[in-house]
Structure 1
């Protein structure tokens, strides 16, 4: 439960706030006893007093502040109703809501940080209560008819001179209101409420069945010869005795990343098939009928169609586009078509070579889908020096972190300074960020919690990491941004430093990029600053740009140092890392485009889900679909998660990020030009937050509209696009 909940609370903010939860266990007190006027969770310097925070004062603070937010909404409504009132929408509506909102969100952010960083201090049940109370209070301003109509009047030119940023904020309120039915008559509002409630129930049911179906399967292995070549982390994860993982028996489940790594390293084809078929048939009629999600998936699709139609949209996909940079289904379809033109012919070549490699190395059967991960891994080792355990030795965490800080300081003209403050664990560090051009006062700050703690942290997979915006920038409250970065990296043991895999390094860079967008924002409004109000399909862009920096050999050398020899990552391993990124890229991209298209088709067409799958599969996948493959029944991202009709956001963000990084790459040999691009990136993506539409932000940075060419080049697929054009 906690992992699924963690995914949801840390996903991009949805404009569709009318989500509901059921079965509260902890009641949030509405008024805390003897609660002081100031936030009781903050010290005199404005930072959280983590070492003194308790569940009780978190609950009391959120209850009091939630009431204050709702009371402020009522007061604003009362003022707007005065017949003699001349409304200044920025002063009379936005300013009081922004000021009171940032106080609530700070307490909410503190509780979220404790939940992710030390769940023993903030258990799931307590945080659910805090999260839902915060959501309810924050939602009040978006469903207020007086506030909506006053903002609508101002947007039509009745509220004085407004800047583009002001209008962007007003548009947010109007869109939130429309998507939550504020313009509907009472009958339609009743329908929308009933649909929303039922949808919440069905989503929970879908997720629960996937969880149960996943947990109920395991494959027992008694033969050490099968597991002897497994990576150490996989062996520990499946061993009955993690302290002595070389002794069996071993149990393989369907949880990731165990499932993925098992398919890559298990040399027994029958065992691979058994685990693969169990995974692809989760929550389907081909497993336990009582856990089948087939009908549930259809019910969710029907409810979302009804929700969209009630709000005046043709279908749920059209409704989804209201909150995306893409803007229209046609734009997404054009991108999919452009990428598939390169990925499909590349996939044909890749699978042909992989099947030949497998046959030459002992495969005596037809090449099937479940053969791909194992032989893909074998093939990569045969053509490159890629060795995850060897690469890890070059990435001690302090060296990587120092290199990351230096890179950001040079690119964005900032400086990181560590400071001793109250924290939730002794391993946690705090850093102030200063602007190099005016270093007298910090412009923001962040906590850094690097290491895994078995019983205290939510852990989705070894590379999991979170960026939590504790507090947003708000001019009216004179508040600077505050964030927390929480990871699950190996702890230093027996004098050996924490060593990061390359996946860990990518996770660190990606989350740091997101944090910079939160911390370096220059927007004055809390509702627009940092990651607030950024369209879903570009919310990951800044993080992806930072992870792209790792494609540059000089960056890899600067952040690496062998933990014993102190030598930087050698050229052959740098080339191996780049090769791993491009290996089977056509197959992987085609598969992502399949799931992207499947999501759009399921939420725009009425056909039964299996009929949609059968129609789409051969367009993207060259190997035949297994007759019992029921992956739709466990597609949690689009049914129980927050990516319904939005799964394309992943590939859209990758295209934008690759295009942005290509500007850094183009000037890589000129230090002054690199610094100029870095400054432009800070002045756009890291500064503007949600105050400017992302299409305009991209144009401000790149001087044109985005193109998929950079992503194709990064994946090594640009030559396939050229061949298609020549043919």
Structure 2
């Protein structure tokens, strides 16, 4: 189970990016973590690095317990002081600064626990991490749910006695928004109603999630026909293998409905009937069209109802409108407008793509009308036919060590930094490396540091089904507590036989993305922990920096600079450069429309009261060139928005890609000028805005400082090959 899954399962009410809950402060009891071990043990301080050889689970749990108690005690004292004062003359010195000082220790210990949970589960097993996570979330929530703290900040925000700078205003706004969205201003009967809806929402989300998991486990189909498995890659056969002690190519194999398996199986299964059977089982699960014991239709509508009531009590027209409080988009109208504008280009492109794919399928012997479950299989075949795309061959030019080394070099040149490895530090495994980042203009002290743990260790690392990796904050920057940022990048890359660890195209993009987020958290010039790096960045913009780093791989010069064949250092051939780049654009209209459809579905489900099936019937044809199956019930297992974090926020993926594409277009324009200084200047400007500002400014303002205007969808469409605009216009 991944870290994000753990959060979603245990804390389903995540309105903002902070782990907050509505707490009853007068319920008469507090759940405590066992107090074990050294009372003053602190596993991670301000600048020093953790001593992993002195680390124990008991000490970490003890530290969280002691730090939690200290925070609760200090917060109670602070509340009493606020209440006893006639007036707060300096909200920062008297309230906000003390809160940051008393909470830093717990944040650091929690960050260490997250890192070890993902990097070495023998040091931090799941059960122990859940204990720490639960305690830390509860303690963290209290500072945002304190009535004396909230109303003192609210009075200060209205006062004109003290002028606040941008960071101070941003921190004030964060505390007020967190409190308001958690219902701190609601009282009387409405308070009880709100709590009741939140409890029911949590219960129904858990039931929804459990039904999906049970339905996935219930479906099992033998997959031993040689005609079915003949095109399946070894990596997929490993996932399907019944006996993991046998070679993956020996079998037997059994299919399940886990998303990562379904996606890969439909891409490689050559049999139409088998593809249809697996697809229909997947989209009909948890509905009345399948096994009714796992029917989620009622829970889906109950979740929507509770969200509507929650939003209404908090003063919003809909749950989607409430969600906009923490988004860069700002309003439901803006989201719908962008989805529509993108669809106007993507849908005609999709129509042409599906027609072309139909012709190709017929050419290689498939004489039926393409259905949705056929698309990925023939897309893969067409990509090979058009561009000779062979992932196994291409990844031989992306050895992990070389890609990582050249990624650091690229970042140093673009952002005027120096990344230096420190080998003689204590680590949780011998494979782990530690680096410090220095500013070349003032390189006396490091800006911060990061651990890198890239290799799979099945016996001790948390394994995610899809190896997208993690960027974990172990410690955030805070000038107030003189704290430098400390982070960890964790992946599970596997070695292939006698070869070096080789990265496929998705791996390379994910590595660049996580490193971009790491730099944002290290370079950020924030005075406050709560605004540092990606903290307090709007949900729909939090992945912008990572996506910009991904987009840099669209630059052929950069792509060439990071690659070489693992065995002989040969450069990446031109035909494979083309294949690498076209892989991102092939069937771009279809892929984008799928993203837009699910984004709009989330918007409509959290805006309207219509029955979910009626909403699906209306939306589906707008975004698809293939027909909707009458028994397709995919919303009944749409876990990201009904049991995960992304209800009212699913469009965020498209939005962050749009913003990142527009940011990258500045690099693209600079490259066209053929003046190296222009490209370097864009990198400098990117550092001074997106990497430096982090959560200290609204992303709209950060973008304007970088681009000199508001964002446009043109660059995203250009990146995907759906239009060819002159981007400067």
TM-score by length of 2: 0.95
Tell me by how many angstroms 1:86 deviates.
4.3
Deviation at 1:153, TM superposition (A): 1.3
Identify the residue that residue 165 of structure 2 maps to in structure 1: 163
Instruction: Tell me if 1:263 matches 2:287.
Output: no
Preserved contact between residue 22 and residue 182 of structure 2 (Cα < 8 Å): no
- For residue 17 of structure 2, give the secondary structure of its aligned residue in structure 1: coil
Cα pair distance change 1:73/1:157, threshold 3 Å: same
CA gap of 1:3–1:693, structure 2 versus 1, over 3 A, is closer
CA distance in structure 2 between the aligned counterparts of 1:177 and 1:19, rounded to whole angstroms: 9
**Structure 1, residues 116-137: CA drift from partner, whole Å, max 9, x if none?**
1112221222211211111111
Report which stretch shifted further, 158-167 or 641-650.
Answer: 158-167
SS at match of 1:622: coil
Q: Distance in 2 between matches of 1:6 and 1:70?
A: 25
Distance 2:53 2:212 in 1: 38
Contact 1:15–1:323, Cα closer than 8 Å, also in 2: no
- Following superposition of structure 1 onto structure 2, how do residues 187-586 of structure 1 map, counting pairs within 5 Å? 187-241=189-243, 243-419=246-422, 420-491=424-495, 493-494=497-498, 496-586=499-589
Asked if the contact 1:466–1:511 (Cα under 8 Å) also holds between the matched residues in 2, the reply is yes
**Quick one: which of 92, 95, 101 aligns to 1:93?**
95
Distance in 1 (CA, whole Å) between partners of 2:221 and 2:492 is 27
Rounded Cα–Cα distance in structure 2 between residues aligned with 1:535 and 1:43? 28
Aligned-pair distance for 1:15? Answer: 5.1
When residues 666 and 711 of structure 1 are mapped into structure 2, their CA distance, relative to the original with a 3 A threshold, is: same
Aligned partner (choices 584, 596, 611) of residue 599 of structure 2: 596
Q: How far did residue 12 of structure 1 move?
A: 10
- Structure 1 residues 682 and 3: alpha-carbon distance in aligned structure 2, compared to 1, 3 A threshold: closer
Q: CA deviation at 1:673?
A: 1.5
Structure 2 residue matching 1:690: 3-state secondary structure: helix
Offset at 1:152?
Answer: 1.0
Task: Tell me how far apart the structure 1 counterparts of residues 73 and 717 of structure 2 sit (CA, whole Å).
Answer: 52
Q: 1:281 Cα deviation (Å)?
A: 1.3
Deviations 1:51-108 (A, max 9, x none): 3211111111111111222222222212212245543101011111111222111000
Matches of 1:452 and 1:283 in 2, distance apart?
Answer: 34
2:303 partner SS: helix
Rounded to whole Å, the distance in 1 between the matches of 2:22 and 2:147 is 20
Q: Could you tell me which residue of structure 1 aligns to residue 138 of structure 2?
A: 136
Shift of 1:161: 2.2
| Partner SS state of residue 704, structure 1 | coil
When structure 1 is superposed on structure 2, of 336-345 and 450-459 the one drifting more is 450-459
CA contact (8 A) 2:88 2:152 kept: no
User: How far apart in 2 are the matches of 1:628 and 1:44?
Assistant: 57
2:712 aligned partner: 707
Give the Cα–Cα distance (whole angstroms) in 2 for the partners of residues 184 and 605 of structure 1.
24
Contact persistence 2:22–2:145 (CA under 8 A): no
Contact 2:234 2:249 in 1 (8 A): no
Distance 2:435 2:557 in 1: 26
Q: Identify which of 663, 685, 689 aligns with 2:694.
A: 689
Aligned equivalents of 1:168 and 1:507: distance in 2?
A: 30
* Residues 432, 454 of structure 2: 8 Å contact kept: yes
Extract unaligned runs of 5+ from structure 1. Answer: 21-26, 723-727
Q: Does the CA contact (< 8 Å) of 1:16 and 1:176 recur in 2?
A: no
Partner Cα distance (2:335, 2:356) in 1 = 31
What secondary structure does 1:81 align onto?
helix
Q: Give the CA deviation at 1:540.
A: 0.3
RMSD of aligned Cα (Å): 2.0
2:188: which partner in 1?
186
| CA distance in structure 1 between the aligned counterparts of 2:697 and 2:3, rounded to whole angstroms | 33
* Partner Cα separation in structure 1 for residue 53 and residue 207 of structure 2: 38
**Does the aligned pair in 2 maintain the 1:28–1:129 contact within 8 Å?**
no
Identify which range, 223-232 or 210-219, moves more after superposition.
223-232
Q: Which residue number corresponds to residue 5 of structure 1?
A: 5
Cα distance in structure 1, aligned partners of 2:564 and 2:600: 43
Q: Distance in 1 between matches of 2:22 and 2:241?
A: 40
Give the direction of change, closer, same or farther, for the CA distance of 1:477–1:12 in structure 2 (3 Å limit): farther
Cα shift readout 1:393-449 (whole Å, capped 9, x = no counterpart)? 111110000110001000111111111211111111111111111222111000100
> What is the Cα deviation at residue 492 of structure 1?
6.4
The alignment covers a number of residue pairs equal to 713
- Following TM superposition, by how much is the alpha carbon of 1:3 offset from its aligned partner in structure 2, in angstroms? 6.1
CA distance in 1, matches of 2:121, 2:247: 28
Aligned to 2:26: none
Alpha-carbon distance, 1:326 to partner: 0.4
Shift of 1:44: 9.4
Matches within 5 A, 1:651-662: 651-662=654-665
Structure 2 segments unaligned to the other structure (5+ residues): 24-30
Residue by residue over 1:576-620, the C-alpha shift from the partner in whole angstroms, topping out at 9 and shown as x without a partner, is 111111111101111111111100100111111111101111111
Q: 1:698 aligns with which of 696, 699, 703?
A: 703
TM-score normalised by structure 1 residue count = 0.95
Structure 2 SS opposite 1:347: helix
Matched, 1:672 2:672: no
Please tell me whether the aligned partners of residues 240 and 251 of structure 1 are also in contact (alpha carbons under 8 angstroms): yes
Say whether 1:121 aligns with 2:126. Answer: no
Deviation at 1:32, TM superposition (A): 4.5
CA distance in 1, matches of 2:115, 2:82: 37
C-alpha distance in 2 between matches for 1:56 and 1:367: 58
Give the conservation status (yes or no) of the 8 Å contact 2:33–2:135.
no
The alpha-carbon distance between structure 1 residues 471 and 16, as it changes in their structure 2 partners (threshold 3 A), is closer
Asked if 1 retains the 8 angstrom alpha-carbon contact of 2:285 and 2:636, the reply is yes
The residue that corresponds to 1:24 in the other structure is none
Take 2:537 and 2:379, find their aligned partners in 1: how far apart are those partners? 37
Deviations, residues 313-332 of structure 1 (Å, cap 9, x unaligned): 11100100011010001111
